[in-house]
Amino acid sequence: MDRNDYLILTGQTESHLVSYDEQFLIHKDILKPFKNLQEIIFEKRKCKLEILSGFRSFDRQKFIWNQKCKGKRAVRDNNGNPLDIEKLSPYELVCSIMRWSALPGFSRHHWGTDIDVFDDHNKPEHIELVPSEYQQGGPFYQLSDCLSELISADRCFDFYRPYETDLGGVAIEPWHLSFKPIAKEYQEMITLEVFEKFIAEKEFNSIELIESVRENAEEIYYRFISP
C-alpha cells in the first residue's frame, strides 16, 4: 500500500475529492452517477435526493468519537435510544459507539465514496438519522422505498447500501449509500494485518479508548471492519 492509499483510507487527504453543491466533498468519480440517481428518483417518486454527510476527515471523525466517549454526544442502543455510558465497560462502550459511528481512520466516509442521503422535499426541522425516519410513516420512507426498488433492479448507478442487514456489527443504516466500484477496492485493502498496523500508528494515540481497541483488535475487525 502506498502513502496516498494510506491517507485516503484513514481520511487524511482530500486529493481525491471534489465539491458537491459547495457544501460537501465527495469522491470525484461519484459526482456524475449521483446526479443520475437524483434524476431517476425525482422522475419516479418526486423525491429530492440530497446529501446530508459526504467526506468526513480523520480529525472530524475523531472529534465525534471522542465526544461520545466523554458523554458529550449520545451513545445509542440497538433501537436508537440513548445509553447510560457510566454502566458500560470500556470495551462495551467501544462496541456501542461502533454500532452507529465508525472508529476514526476506518469510516467509509473517509473515502468520499459513501454518503448519507435524505429527501429534501420532506425533511423535518431536525434530521436524526435513525431508522424510523426511513420506515413507513417516516418523512423519508418514499425515498428509502425507491432506493430499495432501484438497488433490487440493479438500476442504482452502482450505489448500494453497505449496512442493509444487521450482522451484529454496524446497525442498519438505510440512509447510507456507497459507490461500490471504488469503495470495494478501498474496503479490500483493509486486512486484519493492515488494521492492526494502522491502530498502532501514533495518529491513533489521541483517540479515546484506543487501548481497548488495540487489546480487542481482532474481534473489532471481524465484527465492524471486515468486508
pLDDT on residue 111: 98
Rg (CA), the chain: 17
Q: Cα–Cα distance between 16 and 3 in angstroms, integer? A: 13
What digits encode the pLDDT tens for the residues 196-213?
999 999 999 999 999 999
In this structure, the strands spanning 114-119 and 159-160 are unpaired
Q: Which residues of the chain have pLDDT under 70?
A: 227
Q: What are phi and psi of 25, to 5 degrees?
A: -105, 135
22's CB contacts (< 8 A; 6+ apart) are none
Round to the nearest angstrom and report the end-to-end CA distance of the chain. 18
> What domains lie within the chain, and their CATH numbers?
3-225 (3.30.1380.10)
Residue 216: exposure state from Cβ atoms within 10 A (0-12, 13-18, ≥19): middle
Q: What is the three-class DSSP state of 12?
A: coil
Q: Residue 114, CB half-sphere, CA atoms under 13 Å: how many? A: 23
Q: Cα–Cα distance between 92 and 154 in angstroms, integer? A: 38
Q: Which string of b and e fits 72-102 if b means at least 16 CB within 10 Å?
A: ebebbeeebeebebeeeeeeebbbbbbbbbb
148's CB contacts (< 8 A; 6+ apart) are none
pLDDT on residue 227: 66
Given a contact cutoff of 8 angstroms between Cβ atoms, the answer to whether 109 and 26 are in contact is: no
This prediction has a pTM of 0.95
pLDDT on residue 1: 85
**Element housing 180 (H / E):** helix 180-189
In this structure, the strands spanning 49-53 and 17-20 are unpaired
